[in-house]
Amino acid sequence: MSTYRPSKARKSIFAALLRARRQFGGNTVAIVDADDRTFTYTELIRAAFALGSVLRRHTKSGEKVGILLPTGAGSIIAFFALLAYGRVPAMLNFTAGPRNLRAAFKVAEITTIITAHRFISLAKLEKLEETLKNEINILYLEDVREEIGLVDKIAGAVGPILPFAFRAHPSPDAPGVILFTSGTEGDPKGVVLSHSNVVANVEQIRAHIALRTTDVVFNPLPTFHCFGLTGGALLPLFSGMKAALYPSPLHVKIIPERVRTTGATVLFATDTFLSRYSRAGNQGDLDGLRFAVCGAERVRDETRAAVKKKYGLQVLEGYGVTEASPVIAVNTPEDNRPGTVGRLIPGMESRLEPVPGIEKGGRLFVRGPNVMQGYIKPEHPGEIIPLEDGWYDTGDIVEIDESGYVAIRGRAKRFAKIAGEMVSLAVVENCATAIWPENQHVAITRADPSRGEQIILISDYADADRATLLTWAQSHGVPELAVPKKIIFVPTIPVLGSGKVDFVSAAKLLDEDAEA
């Protein structure tokens, strides 16, 4: 564990990569791709300079360029290639569909994207490709590599030796990457993270958790999700740890074996995916892990118990948001407190604002070196709207105990007001999960003429019934207000590419059921 020093964060993202090479050695393996191809720090930097040299002929300095690629060496090299020559990578969610991608292009003023023919084919995105082809300039990695000429080869060869003469030198406070909110509860917005925001978050994590240069981080999470980009890729790269990258978290039968064969010691995942890996994996597949770090959604007690019993694996629950680059708090191996997301990482300030109807805790606001420059919103494309005094409203209701441990109670928007009482939809979902742990459940609110609002549960368990839920609630001291008025079965609960429940699509399923 290192000491957090703000001065270490005052670098561009590419400069932080160069610093890591100096510190850990150019011949040290930095990335292991899904096909077992490895890249040392020097090879990674060389590839970034060569590819970037070609990309600068297709783009302008300061331009926002979209990256539509899965997690892997290709996406990371493209990311650093753009940064090397002063472009701003914008990480695009290829699972979002044409409408949301068009919204991202418009809000961030993106006119060029980078993808790969092979990815389009493997992911079966030909229809998406055809839809976008007439609206935006698409650069394919295979075609760009064919363009690499003598000048580009020289840049690739000399760049790692004399990087100062080749690379761009943006201010640490300049935009470093653009990501997009997941849209779980509305239209996505562009999130502008400065170079310093991202580098600071890596340094904060390193000062908070004792990591080792001998660790191998397995990351199947998408790089369009900030957890997958910062935690799963940049953290190991900047810390001297090997990053074992995998293109999709959905390959639940392959990933446990891949964790074993790569010698991974740290796994980044969500509760949903970790639960699936645990069930699908063979005995021993996850035994080499020191711990798994889970974010993006609450870690269920059932998941902790299952991975502990089968693999002896410790799960560290953390908490973050894209707007904070993303990590805000996380448990540590030495002091892991289930039911909390750990303490705030170094350098962060917090304040709680009271919420009417909620007695304990409050609405969490955070401020720190990792908190974004601001949003880009659809009504003002390309314009960064800064935060007031640097404070970000997470929209989450939390409690912080006397030791500083943070417990998430729910989203402010995910409370129902029934007969004047505030009821957490997360509590409703937790009750259903306790009874039917192998399934997914989502609570949705709808207007109720007599009580203000009512709760309806959507479940992918066909036999879920209200009577069983009511009996369980009564025997566990859960108020009857937290028992949904009715339960609706759906074959599949919609999720986003990040693994989070897609509440917008879930609500549409409820509306479709009402119309049927």
Beta pairing class for 266-269 and 291-294: parallel
- Residue 366 near residue 348 (C-beta atoms within 8 A): yes
Main-chain phi, psi angles of 428, to 5 degrees? -60, -45
**Residue 285, number of CB atoms within 10 A of its CB:** 20
pLDDT of residue 171: 95
Query: DSSP class of residue 388?
Result: G
pLDDT of residue 187: 62
Cβ-in-10-Å burial (0-12, 13-18, 19+) of 246 comes to buried
pLDDT of residue 325: 96
Map tokens 């409370």 to a residue.
415
CA 447 → CA 358, 426, 429, 516, distances in Å?
20, 18, 19, 19
> What are 453-465's pLDDT values in tens digits?
788 888 988 888 8
Q: Helix (H, G, I), strand (E, B), or coil: what is residue 72?
A: coil
Structural tokens at position 389: 């005094």
CA distance 49 to 366: 37
- Residue 315 near residue 330 (C-beta atoms within 8 A): no
Cβ-in-10-Å burial (0-12, 13-18, 19+) of 470 comes to middle
Q: Side chain identity at 291, as an amino acid letter?
A: F
**Residue 339, number of CB atoms within 10 A of its CB:** 12
Structural tokens at position 490: 């759906």
The structure's pTM equals: 0.84
The CA-CA-CA angle for residues 175, 176, 180, to 5°, reads: 85
pLDDT of residue 422: 65
**Residue 35, number of CB atoms within 10 A of its CB:** 7
> What are 185-202's pLDDT values in tens digits?
556 789 999 999 999 999
Q: Identify the structural domains of the chain with CATH numbers, from first to last.
A: 6-400 (3.40.50.12780), 419-515 (3.30.300.30)
Query: DSSP class of residue 366?
Result: E
CA distance 239 to 79: 18
> What are 325-378's pLDDT values in tens digits?
999 999 999 999 999 999 999 999 999 998 877 778 889 999 999 999 999 988
Structural tokens at position 138: 């698409």
Q: In tens digits, what is the pLDDT along the chain, a chain of 516 residues?
A: 678 888 888 999 999 999 999 999 999 999 999 999 999 999 999 999 999 999 999 999 999 999 999 999 999 999 999 999 999 999 999 888 888 888 899 999 999 999 999 999 999 999 989 988 888 999 999 999 999 999 888 888 888 888 887 788 999 999 999 999 865 555 678 999 999 999 999 999 999 999 999 999 999 999 999 999 999 999 999 999 999 999 999 899 999 999 999 999 999 998 889 999 999 989 999 999 999 999 888 888 889 999 999 999 999 999 999 999 999 999 999 999 999 999 999 999 999 998 877 778 889 999 999 999 999 988 889 999 999 899 999 988 899 999 999 998 877 667 676 755 667 787 788 888 888 988 888 888 887 776 667 888 889 888 888 888 888 888 877 777 778 888 888 888 887 766 677 777 777 777 776 655
Main-chain phi, psi angles of 442, to 5 degrees? -130, 130
Q: Helix (H, G, I), strand (E, B), or coil: what is residue 15?
A: helix
